[in-house]
Structure 1
Amino acid sequence: MAGPDWNPLRRVLALPNESRLKTVVMAFLVSAICAALVSGATVVLRPIQTANRAAEEQARIAALVEGIPGMAAILEQSGGTLSTVVIDLARGRAAADVTPATLDAALADPGNWTRLEPGQDLAGLGQRPNFAQIYLLRDGDQVSVVLLPLSGQGYGGRIDAILALRGDMNTIAGLTVTQHSETPGLGARIEESSWQASFPGTELRDDSGEIRFRVERGPASGVHEVDGITGATRTGRGVTQMVRFWLGPDGYGPLIDAIARGEF
């Protein structure tokens, strides 16, 4: 006569299908096996997912670049590819604990925003994030091009743009407006490539280091100016103040200084 079966699994399997214990145990086993399979798939697929995310990021950066007049040609001449990094704006350095993947979560925390006093708030933002994602092109150890996201208030609402600077951190390589609410036929012309084409070659600062950039009311008359838009003076002023704020000490100023010193 065979002795009792001490294998707990076989004992459970031998129970009638109507047994509550058998149902609970089988459900647990199925869940455990599925969890193990999912975990294993995650480990196996992680390198593929990482590569896909990197490819998607490069594609997104490339799309941004294509929207900036002359930028594709600049990158082609310079060689290399753009990289992205999150900047701690106050320090002008790469953020220690915030990455492109975690930036949105970081900025969801009100503690990661800085309130701007009226005298500081040239762009009319009220506050600015403590971190910003930028894009760099390097030529060896030197930064040859940097793409900086900007935002500010125009006549109809917020204006978002990407400003490209050459390696001297003073010459504009291009600008593209990515979002705005300006008046059709007037301020909305800031999205036209014909207007944005006046930015390349414009210098931000004079010999003393003071920011002199401005959108003129009419045709540009100096190296620090770009053409104005007829009937859209307030839109032009908004773009002027946006650029001056973000290139100043409360925006990317510390980063620009670090790049100019060869420290980034």
Structure 2
Amino acid sequence: MAVKESNIRPFYTALILAFVCSFLVAAASVGLRPLQIKNSRLDQQKNILRAAGLYKKGMAVDKLFASAVEPRIIEIATGRFVPGRDINPATFNQRAAAIDPKLSRALPRSIDQAGLQRLEKYSLIYLIKKNGRLSRIVFPIRGKGLWSTMYGYLALGADLNTVIGITFYENGETPGLGAEIENPAWQAGWRGKKIYKAGRVDFKVVKGGVRVKGDAALHEVDGITGATLTSKGVNNLLHFWFGKYGFKPFIDRLRHKDEKLKRPPEVKNNV
């Protein structure tokens, strides 16, 4: 009997130890969850500020974001702003919306340049104003690369055409090759580029690098050496998100509104 008990005792000890360890891991996970959420939010804010050209190392990200950036929700298909009372930008989860059948739609392969499969009905955008006037807008972008979905932000200037900056903050591309989309040196090559020409997306990520000069060079950026398919994915996602199925309805609506504000008032002839 004593032999049996001595054989069973290590088993019970291991079982109790496993239970205690699993409890501690679960408790730590729950306890760290608020910190993880906060860090994730700060990382997103930092990337938005980087795309907008406002981030500097060591700055208080949350304070600058709160004072300089106005998150808004738009309906992608119409380009209309959605009132905050209907959808709160602070709590809207765009990734979750993209896979929710009630908040998204399936994309036919013929128009799904970015390889999304489904497109959310609503999107966050980020308005940045200076002296009360629109200075730049940051748009969320995503699309398929070689191995993964690439997530990032692209900021346009007040002319709704000139690139202020781009960031990619999440991808599963090949380290040292496709993953170079997160390299600040490559991202810097986007500054000052133009997305549209004559009202249409006219932009290329060029394999082997930009070889044209003059105005044509403003519509091209260097591809990543050794990462042809990743570069093609970036090109495709840009064409999708700034085309008619992405943010173009919003951009056109905003541009038309701005043009109306700039027109001189009509003078009625009362004779």
User: What is the CA distance between 1:63 and its match in structure 2?
Assistant: 1.8
User: What is the CA distance between 1:225 and its match in structure 2?
Assistant: 0.7
% identical equivalent positions:
34
The C-alpha deviation readout for 1:48-82, integer Å capped at 9, x for no partner, is xxxxxxxx999667523443384448xxxxxx711
Q: Give me the TM-score of the superposition, normalised by structure 1.
A: 0.70
Instruction: State yes or no: 1:103 paired with 2:86.
Output: no
1:243 alignment partner, SS class = helix
Cα 1:64–1:230 change in 2 (3 A) is closer
Instruction: State yes or no: 1:217 paired with 2:242.
Output: no
Aligned residue runs from structure 1 range 112-191, under 5 A: 112-139=103-130, 142-191=133-182
Unaligned stretches of 5+ residues in structure 1? 1-55, 74-79
Unaligned stretches of 5+ residues in structure 2? 1-38, 57-66, 262-271
The C-alpha deviation readout for 1:139-168, integer Å capped at 9, x for no partner, is 455422000000100011100010000011
2:71 alignment partner, SS class = strand
2:70, 2:126 within 8 Å by CA — same for their partners in 1? yes
1:115, 1:128 within 8 Å by CA — same for their partners in 2? yes
2:205, 2:231 within 8 Å by CA — same for their partners in 1? yes
2: distance between equivalents of 1:58 and 1:200?
25
Q: Which residue of 2 aligns with 1:16?
A: none
1: distance between equivalents of 2:52 and 2:245?
27
Structure 1 window deviating more from structure 2 (138-147 vs 128-137): it is 138-147
Cα 1:145–1:61 change in 2 (3 A) is farther
1:103 alignment partner, SS class = coil
Cα 1:140–1:259 change in 2 (3 A) is farther
The size of the alignment, in residue pairs, is 203
Q: Give me the TM-score of the superposition, normalised by structure 2.
A: 0.68
Aligned residue runs from structure 1 range 1-264, under 5 A: 62-68=45-51, 70-72=53-55, 81-96=68-83, 97-104=86-93, 107=97, 109-139=100-130, 142-206=133-197, 208-220=198-210, 221=212, 222-262=217-257
1: distance between equivalents of 2:135 and 2:40?
20
Q: Which residue of 2 aligns with 1:23?
A: none
